[in-house]
């Protein structure tokens, strides 16, 4: 029987969506299965461009249906921006290959500045290009500047006619080889400071657009391109001034939400392979899975993966219910980005320790999973950048709750139009949250939830009594260690909320929280060793270390679920 918590193509039927969404998701799975594992891996190894897949998407109207918001859909009833089904598709792409996911992901990023723009002509053009099956690109990063997007050297010189001539280069730009429309970020030469920023739409087939190279060795086309005197007409301008900067950040907000479900798909496929291999490999007359440490590693991997799924599914609800008066998604979003994707790395590491040499073999999906899982924490802002962002919310989240109406599960066929009118990206420190304790109280009877709650309460005490002083608040090394502790509390919160909404088995929840207790202890010890930690902080840190509640019978029951994954899925050859 298929595990109800994991995606399995053999039994996948997304009946909770409307008929066309259900058809498209299933058709995508079928396309990959029909293509087969051998071809999928061969394309990965030979770095083939994704032309066949994009032709399938164009024929079915996959990207066009999923990525055209209702406001640009010209009455087409299936087109809307629906984060729940976008998340479902991310998982499928991650499951079959991150290269497919990436072409779709950067299409989403490229569309961000367009769907946020008032420029009706550009919006209509984008909708038409999508309908024709074109992909898009997002030209923000530059070779010299990395995360420092303030320092763009893409320069726009006014042409005297309301337009510009753009010159400069961009680096690490996905789909830059093929995009029908590239959203490019730059600044005017005649205006100083933030008022000079411009987002504009470029065409990768224009003669003044020069594709330099693919900067990575992969089917992903992560391009360097150069514009030389590229004519930017007034109708190509998407945003100007501070709004252009906000459009960049708000686009990344929408885009980076896709990383968590991409990571989940990768881990799921790898897990079927890993458990099947380990369970069928006989050493010293017994299956490898008879070793207690192997059971522990695979069980940890499984519950970490379940945690990734629960957190991400619940974050979808907050994302879709967001509005000007409810910006809680701005915390849960960087959490999906840095926490869920780094959990993905741990899941793969745990499994790779077990399957060892098998994980290198060229006919496995695992070999690419082990490589590709590393990328997700580094895209759309690094772990550091997202953790620093998360820290802005810590005081209000832990200590200063506010009342909100409950947020229900959001699988309805709504258009998430707020995502394209998020407004100024400022004021994060004043965002309030519902009380995190409610989710924990509901499961106080689960031993390891109770144990973890002691650690969460201790963190509140830390923030109240031993918070970093002014000098320490410039020590990002120390702050990030605190951020990891806070991130665990938020991770646990949404996991519990989703567990409640879906009736998760308490054995699994307890086993998962045993892992979170150990993680909190490990991060506390890390904080204890930080250069600038004060004596009070050091003693707090050691005092927050806890041992999870051990229950052999529970662990054995969860192990049975893991063991049952052996042979549960193998991709069609």
Ligand X SMILES: Cc1cc2nc3c(=O)[nH]c(=O)nc-3n(C[C@H](O)[C@H](O)[C@H](O)COP(=O)(O)OP(=O)(O)OC[C@H]3O[C@@H](n4cnc5c(N)ncnc54)[C@H](O)[C@@H]3O)c2cc1C
Binding region for ligand X (CB under 6 A): 106, 109, 138, 140-141, 146-147, 172-174, 216, 222, 375, 378-382, 384-385, 388, 476
CB of 143 to ligand X, least distance (A): 8
Q: CB of 539: closest distance to ligand X in angstroms?
A: 28
In the complex with ligand X, the residue whose CB is nearer, 141 or 555, is 141
Closest CA to 198 of 208, 188, 189, 207: 188
- Residues with Cβ within 8 Å of 288's Cβ and at least 6 positions away in sequence, in order, are 278, 279, 281, 282, 294, 354
Nearer to ligand X, 105 or 448 (CB): 105
At 222, which helix (H) or strand (E)?
strand 222-232
DSSP 7-61: --TTT---TTS-HHHHHHHHHHHHHHHHH-HHHHHHHHHTT---HHHHHHHHHHT
Least distance CB 499 / ligand X (angstroms): 32
- Name the residue nearer to ligand X (CB basis): 107 or 117: 107
Distance CA 115, CA 147 (A): 23
d(CA 171, CA 221): 11
Nearer to ligand X among residue 531 and residue 535 (C-beta):
531
Q: Which is nearer to ligand X, 141 or 396 (CB)?
A: 141
Minimum distance, C-beta of residue 144 to ligand X, in the bound complex (Å):
9
Nearest approach, Cβ of residue 83 and ligand X (Å):
20
Min CB(548)–ligand X separation in Å: 31
Handedness of CA 74, 79, 82, 87 (dihedral sign): negative
> Smallest distance from the beta carbon of 109 to ligand X, in angstroms?
6
Contact 545, 491 (CB under 8 A): no
The span from the CA of 32 to the CA of 126, in Å, is 27
Q: How far is the CB of 164 from ligand X (least distance, A)?
A: 20
**Kind of pairing, strands 164-174 and 222-232?**
antiparallel
Q: Which helix (H) or strand (E) holds 458?
A: helix 447-465
Task: Enumerate the β-bridge partners of residue 155.
Answer: 167, 187
Nearer to ligand X, 210 or 384 (CB): 384
Instruction: Using the minimum distance from each CB to ligand X, give the nearer residue, 116 or 455.
Output: 116
Minimum CB distance to ligand X smaller for 226 or for 437: 226
Residue closest to ligand X (Cβ)? 146
Q: What is the 3-state secondary structure (H, E, C) of 399-465?
A: HCCCCCCCCCCCCCCCCCHHHHCCCCCCCHHHCCCCCCHHHHHCCCCCHHHHHHHHHHHHHHHHHHH
């Amino acid at each position: 029987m298929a595990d109800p918590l994991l995606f399995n193509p053999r039994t996948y039927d997304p009946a909770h969506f409307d008929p066309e969404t259900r058809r498209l998701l299933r058709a995508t799975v079928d396309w990959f299965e029909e293509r087969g594992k051998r071809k999928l891996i061969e394309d990965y190894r030979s770095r083939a461009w994704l032309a066949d897949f994009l032709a399938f998407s164009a024929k079915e109207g996959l990207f066009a249906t999923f990525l055209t918001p209702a406001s640009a859909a010209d009455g087409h009833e299936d087109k809307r921006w629906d984060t729940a089904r976008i998340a479902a598709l991310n998982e499928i792409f991650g499951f079959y290959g991150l290269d497919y996911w990436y072409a779709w992901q950067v299409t989403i990023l490229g569309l961000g500045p367009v769907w946020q723009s008032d420029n009706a002509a550009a919006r209509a053009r984008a909708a038409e290009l999508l309908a024709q099956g074109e992909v898009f690109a997002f030209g923000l990063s530059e070779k010299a500047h990395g995360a420092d997007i303030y320092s763009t050297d893409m320069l726009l010189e006014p042409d005297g006619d309301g337009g510009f001539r753009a010159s400069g280069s961009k680096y690490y730009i996905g789909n830059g080889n093929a995009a029908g429309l590239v959203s490019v970020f730059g600044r005017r030469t005649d205006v100083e400071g933030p008022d000079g920023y411009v987002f504009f739409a470029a065409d990768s087939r224009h003669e003044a657009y020069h594709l330099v190279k693919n900067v990575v060795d992969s089917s992903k086309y992560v391009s360097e391109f150069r514009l030389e005197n590229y004519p930017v007409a007034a109708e190509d301008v998407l945003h100007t001034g501070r709004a252009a900067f906000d459009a960049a950040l708000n686009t990344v907000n929408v885009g980076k939400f896709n990383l968590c479900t991409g990571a989940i798909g990768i881990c799921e496929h790898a897990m079927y392979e890993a458990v099947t291999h380990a369970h069928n490999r006989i050493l010293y007359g017994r299956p490898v899975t008879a070793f207690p440490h192997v059971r522990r590693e695979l069980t940890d991997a499984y519950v970490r993966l379940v945690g990734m799924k629960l957190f991400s599914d619940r974050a979808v609800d907050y994302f879709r219910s967001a509005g000007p008066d409810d910006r809680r998604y701005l915390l849960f979003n960087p959490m999906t980005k840095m926490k869920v994707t780094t959990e993905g790395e741990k899941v793969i590491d745990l499994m790779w320790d077990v399957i060892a040499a098998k994980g290198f073999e060229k006919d496995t999906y695992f070999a690419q999973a082990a490589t590709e899982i590393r990328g997700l924490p580094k895209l759309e802002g690094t772990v550091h950048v997202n953790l620093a962002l998360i820290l802005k919310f810590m005081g209000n989240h832990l200590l200063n709750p506010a009342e909100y109406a409950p947020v229900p599960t959001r699988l309805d066929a709504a258009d998430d139009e707020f995502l394209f009118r998020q407004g100024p990206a400022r004021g994060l420190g004043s965002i309030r949250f519902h009380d995190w304790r409610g989710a924990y109280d509901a499961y106080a009877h689960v031993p390891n939830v109770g144990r973890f709650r002691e650690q969460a309460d201790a963190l509140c005490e830390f923030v109240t009594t031993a918070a970093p002083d002014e000098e320490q608040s410039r020590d990002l090394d120390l702050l990030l260690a605190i951020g990891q502790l806070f991130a665990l509390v938020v991770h646990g919160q949404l996991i519990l909320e989703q567990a409640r909404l879906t009736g998760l088995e308490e054995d699994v929840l307890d086993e998962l929280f045993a892992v979170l207790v150990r993680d909190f202890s490990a991060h506390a010890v890390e904080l204890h060793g930080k250069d600038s930690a004060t004596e009070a902080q050091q003693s707090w840190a050691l005092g927050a270390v806890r041992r999870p509640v051990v229950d052999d019978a529970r662990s054995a029951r969860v192990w049975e679920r893991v063991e049952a994954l052996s042979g549960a899925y193998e991709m069609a050859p």
